[in-house]
Amino acid sequence: MKKLLFTYLIGIFILNTAVSFSQILDPVRWNYEHKKLSDTEIELTFIADIEDRWHLYSQDLPEGGPIPTSFTIEGSADFELIGEVIEVTEPEVKYDQSFQMKLKLFSHKAVFKQKIKLLSEGTVKIKGFVEFMSCDDEKCLPPKESDFEFVIQGSSLADIGHEEGQGTTSIKEQKESEKEFFKPRVNLSGEASKQSDKIALQSSENSEKSGKPLWGFFLFSMLAGFAGLLTPCVFPMIPMTVAFFSQGIENRVKSILKAIIFGLSIILIYTSIGLIVSLTSAGADFANNLSTHWIPNVIFFTLFMIFAASFLGMFELVLPGRLINRSDKQVDRGGIIASFFMGVTTVLVSFSCTGPIVGALLVEAASGDIIKPTLGMFGFSLAFALPFTLFAIFPSWLKNLPKSGGWLNSVKVILGFIVLAFGLKFLSNIDQTYHLGILSRQIYLAIWIVIFTIMGFYLLGKIKFAHDSDLPFITIPRLVLIIATFVFVLYLVPGLFGAPLNSISGLIPPQDTRGFKMSSQVMGSSLGISNASDNGSNTLCEAPKYADFLHLPYGLKGYFDYDQGLECARELNKPVLLDFKGHACSNCKEMESKVWSDPAVLKRLRNEYIIIALYVDDRTKLDESEWVVSEYDGKVKKTIGKMNADFQITRYKINSQPYYVILDLNENVLVPPRSHNLDIKKYVDFLDKGLEEFKKLN
């Protein structure tokens, strides 16, 4: 008995070990259910169970992003579809750095529904498949299809639902699953059911985001609050406000209490604005439309241009005088209530300078997490109110404040330049989402270079705007700002010639929107690679197949067909770098942007390797003679992407991208393959070790 138990435990250990080391990932499992709504109307339910750390993409994604989830139902005379597949589970929205856009996705679980109308009696079969793509924080899997089949048998509504690779679910199991899944929804209307799903998702979403602090945005908001203090219509108000509270200096405790109420009033007003924006911007559709639809982006661009013009002195944004006068009358009454209205008056009077900053902050916050507007306004108001409150409590500190002067208007003008530059982001969103090809990366960077160059000359005193005073000399802080501005301009210039500019990649269009192509020599020069050392670089044996629509970055040349690339490698006696990638693979683009762009990496790729880039999600149809039958699932692969994805699975037992493999001329792996890792040194070592092992064989 003990031997049997020991053998059993060893078997379990070996099985678990084998499973844990297996790299064929399958993080999304589908289940299918249905229920009868009436004698002729059926509701089909598609349920995706998603492993932790993985996510499934929505049906509604902007162009240029990953592959959206889609449902294909085979047509039949026995039924007709009622409407389209709806997403019962509300997706969350996250910003993808590589795609430069907000994307809708699901975590843990996603539920989709489709209504159908039966047109015939007896047995009705509903067949089709769902195509989907899943990613985690480090890798993405190629698009996959899951077949489904519902068999509706008269009034009994017996059904069969199955998933590719899982087999068929029995009627009993399906009904038990249906009973369990719909249990929380008994006696709920459709709207209540949807609200229940939304609450559940938000709870899950909050638990996930709890580990992702928003300190960066909070600190940025505080910096914006301090910047608002250093404007001409706010800074002079500090002594005036302190004078108001100093009138009760004989009662120190009361004076401090009034100052605290004054500060809290400012925080309350601004935070309330953020709270309103948070409540009205809740929901994935709002955030997605805000970031991708042309109407809100045009509105935001226009607002930013108005704000910039105001800061640069073209006009002032002021609130109606009646509103300010009413608040000021309440201040004259005195008492604790007067402190609150003093805070209200301060906010209203300072609006002409703080309004553009607050507006820009809210636009940035409203396009992301729904808590950001409230958090942002709290951070802004905390920084804005703190000096007023502290100086009201300790009026003697006023002696250390610098005197008002022309430097205040300079701060306002500098903010105008920054708002002008960042307003272009909204035009860029429109250009990328709708593929207009107008605001290319080069044009965008050229405008930024001009804006910040003019700002540098303004700081030098070579350019003057309305309300500016003469600049008799340059102070040390101003000199530091001048140096920083021109350094930033010089940093931008190589971006015109293809440099990745990784540190600001989230603020500018991606590299694939370049308005013109640079030659490989110019590209190499811009990235610090000496062309003189490129002996034999960019040499290929013959024109690559599919090169009319598939490309490599940075002027690199390679192949997109495995057999063709391997044949050239044998002819030139070079090792092969096999690059499994995808059009919708954000991590692939990040690797190319931050690792392949490095001169040391790029030099080795250009000179020492034959690159074979295999896109696993390309939908180009192959000729029938090129179709392959998979050894993994027995299905016929009819597109470039499916053939390459199957090749990766069958050959290397892995289905995530990016995935880099170095091969010799006999297709043997020379060094352990690599996946997504932004350590440039380790990638260089990977290439060097592969080359070293290859040379040992020759």
The per-residue pLDDT for 450 is 96
Residue 592 has pLDDT above 80, yes or no: yes
pLDDT at 361: 67
C-beta of residue 230 within 8 angstroms of C-beta of residue 408: yes
311: its two tokens:
């800061």
pLDDT at position 201 is 34
Beta-carbon contacts of residue 195 (< 8 Å; ≥ 6 apart): none
- Output phi, psi for 540, to 5 deg: -125, 160
- Please report the DSSP string for 280-349 in residue order: HT-SHHHHHHHHH-HHHHHHHHHHHHHHHHHHTTS------HHHHHHHHHHHHT-HHHHHHHHHHHHHHH
Helix (H) or strand (E) holding 359: helix 351-366
Quick: pLDDT tens for 324-344: 555 555 554 555 676 777 777
Would the pLDDT of 678 be above 90? no
pLDDT: is 630 or 544 the higher one? 544
Interval 624-652 mean pLDDT: 87
Max avg pLDDT among 397-401, 453-457, 460-464: 453-457
pLDDT the model gives residue 110? 93
Q: Could you tell me the domains of the chain?
A: 21-209 (2.60.40.1250), 213-281+308-396 (no CATH), 402-516 (no CATH), 533-696 (3.40.30.10)
Q: Are 604 and 688 in contact (CB under 8 A)?
A: yes
pLDDT at 424 over 80: yes
- Residue 43: is its pLDDT beyond 70? yes
Look over the chain and give the mean of its residue pLDDT values, rounded to a whole number: 74
Token pair listed for 148: 């489904």
**pLDDT for position 180:** 37
pLDDT in tens, 137-150: 667 777 788 889 88
Taking the C-alpha atoms of residue 505 and residue 678, their distance in angstroms, rounded to an integer, is 15
Per-residue pLDDT at 677 exceeds 50 = yes
The percent of residues above 70 in pLDDT, for the chain, comes to 67
Q: Which residue did the predictor score with more confidence, 466 or 478? A: 478
Determine the Cα–Cα distance for residues 533 and 479; give it in Å rounded to an integer.
Answer: 41
| Tally of CA atoms within 13 A in the half-sphere of 213 that contains its CB | 4
> Which one is predicted more confidently, 209 or 258?
258
Name the nearest CA neighbour of 514 among 527, 495, 493: 495
Across the range 580-587, mean pLDDT stands at 75
CA dist., res. 626 & res. 199, Å (int): 49
Q: If you ran DSSP here, which 8-state letter would residue 507 be given?
A: T
Better-predicted residue by pLDDT, 251 or 315: 315
- pLDDT score recorded for residue 514: 45
Tell me what pLDDT residue 151 has: 85
Query: Is the sign of the CA dihedral 482, 485, 491, 497 positive or negative?
Result: negative
Helix/strand/coil for 452 = helix
Predicted confidence (pLDDT) per residue in 161-177, tens digit = 444 433 333 333 333 43
Selected residue with higher pLDDT from 400 and 50: 50
| Cβ contact 148:46 at 8 Å | yes
Per-residue pLDDT, averaged over 481-504, amounts to 87
Is 186 a residue whose pLDDT tops 60? no
DSSP per-residue string spanning 77-104 = TTEEEEEEEEESSPPEEEEETTTTEEEE
- Residue 66 confidence (pLDDT) above 90: no
Nearest to 290 by CA among 220, 358, 368, 357: 368
Omega prior to 575 cis, within 30 of 0: no
pLDDT band at 274 (very low <50, low <70, confident <90, very high): confident
For the full predicted model, state whether its pTM sits above 0.85. Answer: no
CB-based contacts of 473, cutoff 8 Å, min separation 6: none
CB 228 within 8 A of CB 354: yes
pLDDT of residue 328: 54
Nearest partner of 609 among 490, 500, 691, judged by Cα: 691
